[in-house]
Structure 1
Amino acid sequence: MNGLFGFGQTLLLALDPERAHDLAVKSLELGLYPHTTEPDDKRLAQRIFDLDFPNPIGMAPGFDKNARVPRELLGMGFGFVEVGTLTPRPQSGNPLPRVFRSMSDRAVINRLGFNNDGQEAALARLKQRPAGIVGVNIGAGRDSPDRVADYVSGIERMGAVASYFTVNISSPNTPGLRDLQAPAALDALLQRVQAARGALPSKPPLLVKLAPDLADDDLPEVVGVIVANGADGIVVSNTTLVRDGLKDAAFAREAGGLSGRPLFARATRMLARVYKLTQGKLPLVGVGGIDSAETAVAKVEAGASLLQLYTGLVFEGPALIGRIKRALISAIERADATDLKPLIGRRAEEWAARSA
């Protein structure tokens, strides 16, 4: 079945971006998507965070905000799925229009603002969750009087159904949210979140998602706080507010977070710097600008143990998943290896040395 999630690629790209997204989710619910029938090559498998990933390719949060289709996404061939971002209460997000697509830049700008049905609705759906790895991305409500308490709520409510948690403190579309990346605020947040996680019967791994716009000089302290608080991994990165190099001037003027091809170099450089700061000892999830087999391999070589896609699928369709898997196997074979480990971070030094 060709086309993004069962609908024609050309049709979806002709629609308003948010309408196209809604149709894609609906098509998955109706079973109109390419099903993967063959098991993954065992060389792509990894055990990370005490979880068994059949392959390193994940669906990034933002697509399945409300945990409507994790089973179907896994059925398409993803090795894991991350739902959300979820806030304690439902919220409608920012006014329309709030998603913008540029064909010439192969990029998307969104200012959605954590629109979602709330944690309780997602919890009900995830109680029937499929076999496989389903992470839960948690955030703070726009008008919350205590944003740290919102993250604690996410841990407490969703702990029974989350394979892992991602603490999203890096979206640019909730005013003031990125302030939680400041070292003192981040330390206070992670202490409370880890206390909540420690009280759970089971303790899902905890990841922290960073913005690609952190200053170079600030990154070591931020990463140090994350490591000191016992996080299990770091997601690098979220969308960017930077508009360097965009061809579409009208598109570039839109407010919100930029994702897609123009983010690739910025996010991959930061990924490599985080890999070096953690000495390759903390698993990293590489996100941002993966829209080809080559960019996926580059993310791994810059330091990613796992990958996440979203915007690349908008332009390339679900066939991208298979292309990446084949490219990773080819890279493993060229390295005369038996798995991905020798590839992870082998070009981190080179990527980290690039200019911003």
Structure 2
Amino acid sequence: MTRVYMNRWFSVAYHYINMIRDNPDGEAFEFYGTHPDINHMSLLASDHMGTEPEVFGREYVDFCVNFCRSNEIDIFIPRLHMEEISRYAHLFDEIGTKVMVCRDIELLDAMIEKDKFFEALHGKDLVTIPDYRVATTAEEFKLAYEELTAAGHKVCFKPTKSEGGMGFRIIDNERDPLQDIYGYVTLSTTFEQAYDTFSLTDRFEPIMVMELLEGTEYSIDCVATAEGELLAAIPRRKSTGRTYLLEESPELLDIANRIAASLRIPYAFNIQVKYNNDVPKLLEINPRMSGGLYITCLSGVNMPYLAVQTLQGKTIVPPTPQFGIQAGYVEQPLLMPNK
């Protein structure tokens, strides 16, 4: 029985646990999960659940090490504080726990802070980078906006360090504030509203002010060996609403192969690109399983289990995914144990 620990994951961990548990080889797994909220849905598929303390840095790493030691964990699949866990990966080695994390700390730090990552990719000819500027003051934001609009771009901005759509805004100066009150919650703001807000402080956390990419968005879910040898790459096109298409795109598969060969990212990772004027441009690379990976697994490739196998050091024949699959998702009620 292999014991697996997942710390403070998104709710989709429910799917990934079940995919690993229901693997085609019949390998037995026992799952442990922790989260500050003991009722969080990410814990629902775990066999054992625990509450995490609100600590940071080395204190958080020590919590994870002690949890792995006391529960004799074989495999640790972290999401929260991956960069700190990577810095102290030797502590897990010492207790015999394999950790699914990139050990190239410089690369991992760069992937988590998007401006550093774009700088690191400059000149590598792996994927086109959007036009962008970094701002930490209202005046820097104003200058960045003016330069990008002068170059013919529509403009958006996002914190350099964030997950998903947190902090993402589109600048739209045609918005009607009264209409906004009666409409849906929007990601759009005017330049004046954003500038006035940024002017409330002398300096703020860095944001990337960048060209707005208005074409089709793709997530390319990938699995590689511990040495970064690509085993599988599956582009997932985001369509209308909750609809996705698993698409065999030679252009995107070439991007995945170039990135994998150059950066050598191990285990599960996700490349997000979006088209603008028929050119796929990089949004970010996440060094973990993506939130929509369970949709990608409809290709017939059990990617969470594949990533676990690579961590275990098993010899794997690269799988053949099925493309052309259109899929979506709906909410499903789940019974929770009484606490």
Report if TM-score (shorter chain) is over 0.5. no
TM-score by length of 1: 0.30
User: Highest CA radius of gyration, 1 or 2?
Assistant: 2
TM-score by length of 2: 0.31
Bigger proportion of residues as strand: 2
